[in-house]
Structure 1
Amino acid sequence: MKRYITTPIYYVNDVPHIGHAYTTIIADFLKRFYTLRGDESFFLTGTDEHGQKIEQSAQARGKTPMQYATEVSEKFRTLWDEFDIDYDHFIRTTDDYHIKAVQLAFSKMLEKGDIYKGEYEGQYCISCESFFTTTQLKEGRFCPDCGKPTSEVKEESYFFALSKYQDKLLKWYESNPILPSYRQNEVINFVKNGLNDLSITRTTFEWGIEIPSQKEGEKKHIIYVWLDALLNYVSALGYGGSEERMHLWEGAIHLVGKDILRFHAIYWPAFLLSLDIPLPKKIYAHGWWLNEGKKMSKSIGNVIDPKKVSDEFGNDVFRFFLLREVPFGQDGDFSLNALVDRINSELSNDLGNLLNRLIGMSEKYFSLSLSSNKAQEFFPTECKELENTITQALTLVENAHFHRYLEEVWKIFSLCNTMIARYEPWSLMKNGESEKTQALLVFLCNALYKGTLLFAPIMPTTAQKIADSLGIEIAPSEFKKMIDHHSFKEHFRIEKIAPLFPKIEKKEEKVQESKEEIKKEENKTPQIKIDDFFLSDLRVGEVLECKNVEGSEKLLLFQVDLGEQKPRQIISGIAQYYNPQDLIGTQVCVVANLKPAKLMGIVSEGMILSVKDENGLKLIIPQEKRKNGSKIG
């Protein structure tokens, strides 16, 4: 099977941050995972280097746009190399072959009648390189995505007939190409509201790809940066040139952040339909990493440097934490203490200690040489449990449940630790049951081997250390034998190695109570002024998506439409009172300006109001349907 895995090409307006690392590490995991499974895999990443914002940033630094773009692009490439990212090709939109591919695509769309000349008049966000209608703006002026002021633009422009492809896009969504599913629902709702044709050239700046065959005397048109950037996914495969890798396109999987999903799930497939190129197989849209509930921003100084975290804790640990900590698609709050907790509990206790005990018992009882063909005979129930866990884990990758994939892998190590406690090999040896003891240790080696093969794409260095200790190999042939065919190895020669994950002392987080919080504790029901009440922003919103929070019996995870550009993610502890599916489409009352909080590793961006008495709990809902986002009060 062919697998073509892509990250967005990163815009060279800033240095790499943890969000860039998150996307790239997931893509790297998928590349390594599919390669280990024996699939033909190709991994593309790179940098997006054109546009007005780059031109302005370069001018502000006294550099040419190419000098500035090259400098920042190299920072991305260097970081991915330091992170040992296994990309196959690093593309720059300033590469000659890409420029030719973009100009060819423009010509084909123009020839097909999907591009026409007109005049654009409206609002443009330079920061996001995006056009917005007046109704989309915040307070009639500010960008709905980044919040920065937009500029009024009136200029000659070429337009792409996006509206022509509305029905075909809705038909494509029926094949469920976008994960998580609630992100697909957002896209469908956006498209159903009607698509406007898209302005795809600018004439007010020069740093970009010129349209081909411009007529003499015509204004110099630069191709819209998003049309330019999105075409990288096919130009890197040889589109418009030798096309030597275009056969990989049938397995295309795009990884993107939720803030650029619209471009990838609406504009990009429409461009492909115009060019008669098949649409991508999947689009995975992840959430944001926040810092104390706030989106990271250089302007407020809360950006987390992924290199510093990796340098302090190790590349493998950093990779593990990003994929394990937060369900894919949801926003997560980065915390060093949460990272230390994962190290000490799951990595040190569950995995590292398992290997240490296995080495110790193998040395004490069998001089580090194990041999048994009776592991499956002695432990049939555990063998079945191991097999079922592996089968379940493999299904989760295709559905972008990466955190749950790691949960299933860690169940293997929990099973091993439980077996040690249950069967007490020291007692078996004391009772003269050497054969069963050796069979138990061989079972543990096999389980650890299988688990190592499964997490090797996430923690390759750690996996190799375990492979060296157990005398095993991390290779597609071994994956096929041990994972796909559930084989058992009968002989192990153990090598002693240093502990994998020494415990780390947790840094104390100082929590200072404000005077207001102390006062509230002393007086549970303080009186407030009417002005205090109006500080609460209460709004009506519609539930778009609702599901149980994994690992919790009380919490439900909502996606609520408050009439904003994007739905709100809200957690509410009402799972024992409502079936989540019954709430979809219901309007609820929400505290919209509540400070974001983290529950079960998931960020909640508001509170859903309810009332509770001796008769139970009920949500507070409008008597009649109201416009989403309507204020209460």
Structure 2
Amino acid sequence: MSRYYVTTAINYPNGAPHIGHAYEAVATDWLARFARLDGRDVRFLTGTDEHGLKIAQAARAAGIDPRRYVDGMVERFVAMADRLAISRDRFIRTTDPDHVRAAQALWQRMADAGDLYLDRYAGWYSVRDEAFYAEEETIVQPDGTRVGPTGTPVAWMEEESWFFRLSRFTEPLLDLYARQPEFVQPASRLNEMRAFVERGLKDLSVSRTSFDWGVPVPGAPGHVMYVWVDALSNYLTGAGFPESGYERWWPADLHVIGKDIVRFHAVYWPAFLMSAGLPLPARIFGHGFVLYRGEKMSKSAGNVVEPLALAEHYGVDPFRFFLLRAIAFGQDGEWSHEAIVARVNAELANDLGNLAQRTLSMIAKAGGRVPAHGEAGPQEKALAERAGALLSTCRAAHAAVRPDLALEAIMDMVGHLNLYLSERAPWSLRKTDPAAADGVLRHAAEGIRRCAILLQPAMPERMARLLDLLGVPEDRREFKDLDTDLQTGAELPAPVGLFPRVEPPQPERETSQAV
């Protein structure tokens, strides 16, 4: 099947990873793992965005040089990726030498196209957003502070700068949105971008001289690249640009990003690529925020949670499952300890865990070997038909970038398997017809096997253990193996519980999670 190049936004390491970073990483990991299991050649890129004024200021405040500062902070993002089983093919850093070469090569292509010129910038700039804002996009608050559209303070800046002729790309971008309405998703984000571009684009300042922590501009001593030119270039770096053979991975199939940075990806990025004569990514998906009791998390509000503390308390796979299952990808979603406990206990401990435990325990009591197929009656045929349709449903969810819909379909199948066991009651049937009881357990075990294979992208570690308990060989766990039955008579290991019930942390632990 075709190759699949998927990326997260690269994280700005001026603070500890938070649950929003974890959410994006886990969701993109699900996409990458799903594609691999579906036989596709996958490249999954994530990493850190390490240049810019914000980093320079944070390093100065810490009393160390910027490189030492980012080296220390990046370790925390790598640790998060490792702990949450993020199966990236590369963790890119914008301080990597090959990335500097790629960013400079992109710059040179834009310069060769005549889309860069030297002038003087004067306008409003948000250090926190690393973004320039027009006068009409800012407002003055009652205390006299001027803020940009995201609510972050802006300051007036004046300096010599290279400019990118963004205004030249107003019509090409509108044509792109009309020709490829799937380019920006969900559709609400595309509508926002179209409205923004229709108001008219102004040329963009793309270099800075007031600090030196950035990628040097080719042939312009004293200038470093605007951080978004640098950061967006990482997607090309991950494909191997500008070295020969980068076309194997470029253009990207999907950029997964937060909705607060859609403008940079859906307006600036395609304009840069058009100027450079490079193909555009197929799609950009702007997901929503993870909220706590209806509010966006922030240090000032005291509601920021450290994701590894949640993973440690609830388990990595249950935490991953909650993030993917509970939030409709593309919309804002809620997290709370109560919500995690309710979801994990109801769907993992009670539904899936209980289904696997009682099926495997009954098989163990009957000899501990995979039972033979029994006669397929109407219930078995209906169950098999439902199970057979799961893959196409999950593939459609993957194409739509909706892991929540895939998990909904799989957990619905788990519910039908539980209902099947309850109705067929193999524990009672064994007293009168042991062969029929074995057949029921075989049908249940096959259904569990299918669900476990399809749940691997969400819960790789727990599903590997479940497939071990079912006696599924490691080389029979891809989607192409869904129709490969269990081996009749194969000896199974003793069943163990995979999803114990969870409880929220004690108040003192919950307090310690806030950072």
TM-score scaled by structure 1?
0.76
Name the CA distance, whole Å, in 2 between partners of 1:72 and 1:229.
17
Query: What CA deviation, in whole Å up to 9, does each residue of 1:484-515 have, x standing for no partner?
Result: xx454452533223211122346799xxxxxx
The equivalences for 1:304-343 within 5 A come to 304-343=305-344
Query: What CA deviation, in whole Å up to 9, does each residue of 1:308-337 have, x standing for no partner?
Result: 001111100110011111111111221011
2:359 maps to which residue?
358
2:497 maps to which residue?
499
For the Cα contact (< 8 Å) 1:234–1:249, is it kept in 2?
yes
Query: What CA deviation, in whole Å up to 9, does each residue of 1:432-485 have, x standing for no partner?
Result: 2x3332222111111111111111011011111111110003557642031xxx
Name structure 2 gaps, 5 residues minimum.
508-515
Cα drift, residue 72 of structure 1: 0.8
Range that drifts further, 123-132 or 141-150:
141-150
2:229 maps to which residue?
227
Name the CA distance, whole Å, in 2 between partners of 1:229 and 1:46.
10
For the Cα contact (< 8 Å) 1:145–1:259, is it kept in 2?
no
Structure 1 residues 506 and 228, CA gap change in structure 2 (3 angstroms): closer
2:125 maps to which residue?
124
1:562 maps to which residue?
none
Name the CA distance, whole Å, in 2 between partners of 1:123 and 1:479.
52
Aligned-partner SS, 1:363: helix
Residue 153 of structure 1 pairs with residue 157 of structure 2: yes
Name the CA distance, whole Å, in 2 between partners of 1:145 and 1:334.
25
2:48 maps to which residue?
47
TM-score scaled by structure 2?
0.92
For the Cα contact (< 8 Å) 2:368–2:491, is it kept in 1?
no
Aligned-partner SS, 1:299: coil
Structure index of larger Rg: 1
Range that drifts further, 220-229 or 248-257:
248-257
For the Cα contact (< 8 Å) 2:324–2:404, is it kept in 1?
yes
Name the CA distance, whole Å, in 2 between partners of 1:393 and 1:441.
25
For the Cα contact (< 8 Å) 1:413–1:448, is it kept in 2?
yes
2:407 maps to which residue?
406
For the Cα contact (< 8 Å) 2:116–2:163, is it kept in 1?
yes
For the Cα contact (< 8 Å) 1:378–1:439, is it kept in 2?
no
Name structure 1 gaps, 5 residues minimum.
510-633
Structure 1 residues 471 and 352, CA gap change in structure 2 (3 angstroms): same
Query: What CA deviation, in whole Å up to 9, does each residue of 1:215-265 have, x standing for no partner?
Result: 7xxxx222100001000100122212x344431124431110001111111
Structure 1 residues 490 and 302, CA gap change in structure 2 (3 angstroms): same
Aligned-partner SS, 1:158: strand
2:15 maps to which residue?
14
Aligned-partner SS, 2:231: helix
2:213 maps to which residue?
207
For the Cα contact (< 8 Å) 1:4–1:253, is it kept in 2?
yes
Query: What CA deviation, in whole Å up to 9, does each residue of 1:570-622 have, x standing for no partner?
Result: xxxxxxxxxxxxxxxxxxxxxxxxxxxxxxxxxxxxxxxxxxxxxxxxxxxxx
Greater fraction strand: 1
Higher relative contact order (CA 8 A, sep 6+): 2
Greater fraction helix: 2
Name the CA distance, whole Å, in 2 between partners of 1:376 and 1:65.
69
1:601 maps to which residue?
none
- Percent identity over paired residues: 37
Aligned-partner SS, 1:116: strand
Residue 143 of structure 1 pairs with residue 147 of structure 2: yes
Aligned-partner SS, 2:147: coil
Structure 1 residues 45 and 341, CA gap change in structure 2 (3 angstroms): same
2:241 maps to which residue?
239
Aligned residue identity for 1:470: L
The equivalences for 1:20-39 within 5 A come to 20-39=21-40
Aligned-partner SS, 1:156: strand
For the Cα contact (< 8 Å) 2:83–2:316, is it kept in 1?
no
Name the CA distance, whole Å, in 1 between partners of 2:229 and 2:382.
56
1:439 maps to which residue?
439
For the Cα contact (< 8 Å) 2:387–2:450, is it kept in 1?
no
Name the CA distance, whole Å, in 2 between partners of 1:132 and 1:9.
22
For the Cα contact (< 8 Å) 2:353–2:498, is it kept in 1?
yes
Range that drifts further, 264-273 or 145-154:
145-154
Structure 1 residues 90 and 311, CA gap change in structure 2 (3 angstroms): same
Name the CA distance, whole Å, in 1 between partners of 2:468 and 2:238.
37
For the Cα contact (< 8 Å) 1:36–1:476, is it kept in 2?
no
Aligned residue identity for 2:299: K
1:348 maps to which residue?
349
Name the CA distance, whole Å, in 2 between partners of 1:60 and 1:365.
67
Aligned-partner SS, 2:371: strand
For the Cα contact (< 8 Å) 2:8–2:256, is it kept in 1?
yes
Name the CA distance, whole Å, in 2 between partners of 1:454 and 1:304.
30
Name the CA distance, whole Å, in 2 between partners of 1:93 and 1:287.
25
The equivalences for 1:450-489 within 5 A come to 450-475=450-475, 478-482=478-482, 486-489=483-486
Query: What CA deviation, in whole Å up to 9, does each residue of 1:275-298 have, x standing for no partner?
Result: 111111121211111222221112
